[in-house]
Amino acid sequence: MASPPIAFVAAKTKEAEAARKMLARLYPHVAPARAKILVALGGDGFMLEALRGTIDRDVAVYGMNRGSVGFLMNEFRPRGLMERLARAERVKLRPLEMTAVTVRGRERRALAINEVSLLRMRHQTANLRIVVNGVRRLDRLVCDGVLIASSAGSTAYNLSAFGPIIPIGARLLALTPISPFRPRRWRGALLPASSTIEFRVIEPEKRPVAAVADAFEVRDVARVVVRETRRHHCTIMFDPEHNLEERILREQFMP
């Protein structure tokens, strides 16, 4: 049985580009637009970028780490790639869907692979109300911002904001505050992936807030709803021996 056509894509670093050229000499490949498997060379950020480009396409992304952390990447080994691709396990990811309504009543929609974040736009803190599945859970969060991260995105902005790392396939979302002031001791929540999370901006004209779905920004929002979409997907590939769960545990106990 013929192997599916593969393409190599690399982050804009010397290490990643050198790896792409090496693999291109070793294996037959096609242009990314014709590939069924994208071999992404870089770090987690580049993997998420590659995944965003394959939403709703019949393309899977297999990452090899040429970055720093590489939670979502497999080990870089030039030899035996076709055998590794044939053995790799596939995991379907569901992006987050953001619906944002501005203070002028305009509705904007966007998809995010890693997170949807709400961020203050001025020197004053944001004041946000949080509603989960129609139930008011937090009446007023005073903060620099807040984010909802998927499992794939939990090792990105969410981790830097001291949010939890979520194993791929755990069917959970991380709700993580960014520099919370009140409630002082609230550190966020883990929510079922089926949850609908609504953020209502208190005093949106006095304390303006922007909503960002990955790189898509909507400014001056009054209300933002986030849920995991069931209509869209992308696919990530892992080596069977890629023990992501062990790496996640190890990271959480690092000093």
Q: What is the per-residue pLDDT for 143?
A: 96
Burial 14-29 (b: 16+ CB within 10 A, else e): ebbeebbeebeeeeeb
Separation between Cα atoms, residue 247 and residue 85, nearest integer Å: 21
Q: Which residue among 44, 56, 58, 220 is the active-site one?
A: 44
What is the C-alpha separation between 199 and 74, in angstroms, rounded? 36
Residue 161: closest CA among 115, 194, 125 = 115
Higher pLDDT, 212 or 168: 212
Instruction: Indicate whether 110 pLDDT > 90.
Output: yes
Distance between CA atoms of residues 161 and 175, nearest Å: 11
Q: What is the pLDDT of residue 250?
A: 66
pLDDT band at residue 153 using 50, 70 and 90 as cut-offs: confident
**pTM for the predicted model, two decimal places:** 0.83
Q: What confidence tier does 251 reach under pLDDT thresholds 50, 70, 90?
A: low
Dist CA 230 CA 194 (whole Å): 10
pLDDT in tens, 200-246: 999 999 999 999 999 899 999 999 999 999 899 999 999 987 766 66
Average pLDDT taken over every residue of the chain: 92
Structural domains of the chain, with CATH: 6-93+233-252 (3.40.50.10330), 96-228 (2.60.200.30)
Query: What would the mean pLDDT of 164-191 be, rounded to a whole number?
Result: 92
In tens, the pLDDT along 42-99 reads 998 899 899 999 998 999 999 999 988 788 899 999 999 999 999 998 988 999 999 9
pLDDT surpassing 80 at residue 254: no
Would residue 44 show up in a list of annotated catalytic residues for this protein? yes
Instruction: Evaluate if residue 169 carries a pLDDT over 80.
Output: no
Cα dist. 181→125, 144, 184, 195 in Å?
9, 8, 5, 25
- Residue recorded with tokens 């939670």: 71
Report the candidate in 49, 54, 56 with the shortest Cα–Cα distance to residue 73: 49
**What percent of the chain lies above the pLDDT cut of 90?**
78
Residue 114 pLDDT greater than 80, yes or no: yes
pLDDT score for 3: 80
